[in-house]
Amino acid sequence: MTTRVARVLIAKPGLDGHDRGAKVIARALRDAGMEVIYTGLRQTPEMIAEAALQEDVDVVGLSILSGAHMTLVPRVREALNAVELNDVPIILGGIIPEEDYEPLKALGVAGIFGPGTSTEHIRDFINNLVSSNAR
Amino acid sequence: MPADLVPQVLAGNRRALARLLSHVERGEAEAALKALYPHTGRAWVIGVTGSPGSGKSSLVNALTQHYRANGETVAIVAVDPTSPFSGGAILGDRIRMRDLSGDAGVFIRSMATRGSLGGLARTTRDMVRVIDAAGFDRILIETVGAGQSEVEVARVAYTTLVVEAPGMGDDIQAIKAGILEIADVLVVNKADRIGANQTARALKTMLELGHPAARVYHHGQYMTVEAAPAPVAEWIPEVVMTVATERKGIAELAAAIEAHRQHRLRDAGPFDPQALRAELFERAREALFQQWLQTLSPDTIETLIQRMHQRELDPQTAVQQLLAPPSAQEHGHARP
């Protein structure tokens, strides 16, 4: 029997075109032995939810640098719930002001990683999340 | 239990399908696969292979739109390589398939090779069967960026497309054994680029060398061969030129695929007995190996490896000793 490989969707919702952070994370998670489904720029919440469903991912990682996280994150969460992926956690990276952390966590964001977070920390966080959420 | 998902998969539930595919990928869906096998054989399975950057994903995107316009449902299995170092992977084929997003008649699944070298993952064939049973009309398999010898897809797909971009090399590259041999349709993608005609010509010449033709392409024109050979029932691959990103040549490509489908339906049909024989042997080989592995003590194996490492024992003799009955094996431990 094969060991469980974590599958992570990395997506950029909204209109900002800065995908370097998302690519750095994708690469780091690859090097941590995870399978990263990279969907690229300008994804709508519905596109993200549909990809998460088809790919049966364990975690959805969003990268937002536009400042629109308070609008986009709830929409992605709703879209995921609409396709019955209530149990798939969202993690968030990008430029997120600290005063938004608590409201975002209240919306069900499992983890928020700002600039300067070590990739090891993100890797360990996802591994914990996946093993505690094993389906 | 994966088997519990079977009725939902047959009813077309996308989430159940996605879940079951994960179980299949982890090798824990034997019962479900058994239950679904009688429901397979309806979809037409098209393999798309070719070197990295030749435009496989864009072609799959364009071809899917073509089939969708005809009202056919399409599933895509896109394979990307697993890192040999970390075991991780970046599955990025969806990036070029964003046109298909939001269409309930399309299902895209990315998968990593997880150590397989033939251009597909070990479980790709089983995943394709599950998707087939779920009722899609067309299944497109996109292989990893392939070099010369990743030919596994031809055993899983019913029609295999080999995609080349202009500038593939000289015409000796075209007659080398390997990937070009598995093509049912040869696609010269990025046909708006310099060298596309040359590439198409090299491929056509390659085909004529293998298939006696009534007329040959020589010095830039078709010339009639004196004694035209009798027409053969064998499929002669077509060469199609496309610009996938501009949807050029896609209808012609679909027509070539359809011609091959008609040919294959008259011939072996989707389930080719030769491919089934290969599958049976492959599965039996794997099962026998696993069964046999259980009978060995790890100590025996370690001892043999140690002796090979010391150059006391050659690998050939080591295998003979492993395969010998247990009593003879104990004897094998003693130094000669």
Residue B313 has pLDDT above 70, yes or no: yes
Give B47's DSSP letter.
E
Predicted local confidence at residue B171, as pLDDT: 62
Give B98's DSSP letter.
G
- Asked if the Cβ–Cβ distance from B91 to A37 is below 8 Å, we say yes
What totals of helices (H) and strands (E) does chain B contain, helices first? 13, 10
Predicted local confidence at residue A1, as pLDDT: 38
Residue B326 has pLDDT above 60, yes or no: no
Output the CA angle B127-B280-B131, nearest 5 degrees: 15
> Which CATH superfamily is A7-132 part of?
Cobalamin-binding domain (3.40.50.280)
Residue B233 has which token pair? 């029932």
In B174-297, at which residue ranges do the beta strands (DSSP E only) sit? 185-188, 215-218, 221-224, 238-241
Residue B258 has which token pair? 């359809």
- Asked if the Cβ–Cβ distance from A4 to B21 is below 8 Å, we say no
Q: Among partner residues A30, A40, A83, which is closest to B89 by beta-carbon distance?
A: A30
Mean pLDDT across B73-77: 97
pLDDT band of A2, cuts 50, 70, 90? very low
User: Average pLDDT of chain A?
Assistant: 90
pLDDT band of B206, cuts 50, 70, 90? confident
A2 to chain B: which residues are within 8 Å by CB? 25-27, 114
Predicted local confidence at residue B311, as pLDDT: 94
Torsion-angle region of B334 (φ positive above 0: left; ψ -120 to 50: alpha; else: beta): beta
Element containing residue A131 per DSSP (H, E): helix A119-132
- Asked if the Cβ–Cβ distance from A53 to B15 is below 8 Å, we say yes
Instruction: Name which of B48, B69, B51 is nearest B59 in CA terms.
Output: B48
Q: Which residue has the tokens 């389906």?
A: A135
Instruction: Give B222-281 pLDDT, tens digit per residue.
Output: 776 665 555 557 888 999 999 999 999 999 999 999 999 999 998 877 888 888 898 999
Instruction: Give B40-66 pLDDT, tens digit per residue.
Output: 999 999 999 988 888 999 999 999 999
Predicted local confidence at residue B201, as pLDDT: 86
Residue B212 has pLDDT above 70, yes or no: no
Q: Indicate the Cα dihedral angle A78, A80, A82, A84, nearest 10°.
A: -140
A30 to chain B: which residues are within 8 Å by CB? 83, 86, 88-90
Phi, psi of B139 (to 5 degrees): -125, 120
Element containing residue B249 per DSSP (H, E): none
Q: How many Cβ contacts (< 8 angstroms) between chains A and B?
A: 89
B19-35: buried (b, 16+ CB within 10 Å) or exposed (e) per residue? bbbbbbbbeebeebbeb
Predicted local confidence at residue B233, as pLDDT: 72
Q: Report helix angle B14-25 to A45-55, nearest 10.
A: 50
Give me the residue spans of the domains in chain A.
Answer: 7-132
Instruction: Name which of B157, B213, B158, B147 is nearest B180 in CA terms.
Output: B147
- Decide the pairing of beta strands B44-50 and B138-142: parallel
Predicted local confidence at residue B334, as pLDDT: 47
Element containing residue B80 per DSSP (H, E): strand B74-80
Mean pLDDT across B209-229: 65
Residue B11 has pLDDT above 50, yes or no: yes
Residue B295 has pLDDT above 70, yes or no: yes
Predicted local confidence at residue B336, as pLDDT: 47
- Asked if the Cβ–Cβ distance from A37 to B94 is below 8 Å, we say yes
Predicted local confidence at residue A63, as pLDDT: 92
Nearest Cα residue in chain A from B26 = A2
Q: Which residues contact A93 (CB under 8 A, 6 or more apart)?
A: A21, A22, A25, A61, A62, A63, A64, A112, A113, A114, A117, A122
Residue B199 has pLDDT above 50, yes or no: yes
Residue A45 has which token pair? 């919440």
Give me the residue spans of the domains in chain B.
Answer: 40-271, 296-333
Residue B213 has which token pair? 């033709």
Instruction: Name which of B239, B187, B148 is nearest B54 in CA terms.
Output: B187
Q: Which of B94, B139, B286 to mutate to test the interface with A (most CBs of A within 10 A)?
A: B94
> How large is the greatest C-alpha to C-alpha distance in chain A, in angstroms?
45
Predicted local confidence at residue B243, as pLDDT: 96
Residue A85 has which token pair? 């992926």
Q: Which residues contact B271 (CB under 8 A, 6 or more apart)?
A: B41
Residue B147 has which token pair? 């070099």
SS3 call for B327: helix
Q: How big is chain B, counted in residues?
A: 336
Q: Among partner residues A1, A50, A84, which is closest to B28 by beta-carbon distance?
A: A1
Q: What is the CA radius of gyration of chain B?
A: 23
- Asked if the Cβ–Cβ distance from B112 to A35 is below 8 Å, we say yes
Instruction: Give B79-114 pLDDT, tens digit per residue.
Output: 999 988 889 999 988 888 888 888 889 999 999 999
Instruction: Give B128-179 pLDDT, tens digit per residue.
Output: 999 999 999 999 999 988 777 778 898 899 999 999 888 766 666 666 667 7
Q: Which residue has the tokens 């939001």?
A: B102
CATH of B40-271, one of 3.40.50.1100, 3.40.50.300, 2.160.10.10, 3.30.590.10: 3.40.50.300
Distance in Å from the first CA to the final CA of chain B: 53
Residue A135 has pLDDT above 90, yes or no: no
User: Average pLDDT of chain B?
Assistant: 87
Q: Which residues contact A129 (CB under 8 A, 6 or more apart)?
A: A58, A59, A89, A91, A110, A111
Residue B328 has pLDDT above 60, yes or no: no
What residues 125-184 of chain B have any CB closer than 8 A to a CB of chain A? none
SS3 call for A33: coil
Residue B320 has which token pair? 């003979």
B108 to chain A: which residues are within 8 Å by CB? 51, 54-55
User: SS3 string of A77-107?
Assistant: HHHHHHCCCCCCCEEEEECCCHHHHHHHHHC
Q: Among partner residues B26, B90, B107, which is closest to A54 by beta-carbon distance?
A: B107
Question: How many beta carbons lie within 10 A of that of residue B291, not counting itself?
Answer: 9
Q: Among partner residues B19, B88, B94, which is closest to A35 by beta-carbon distance?
A: B88
Q: How far apart are CA A69 and CA B252, in angstroms?
A: 45
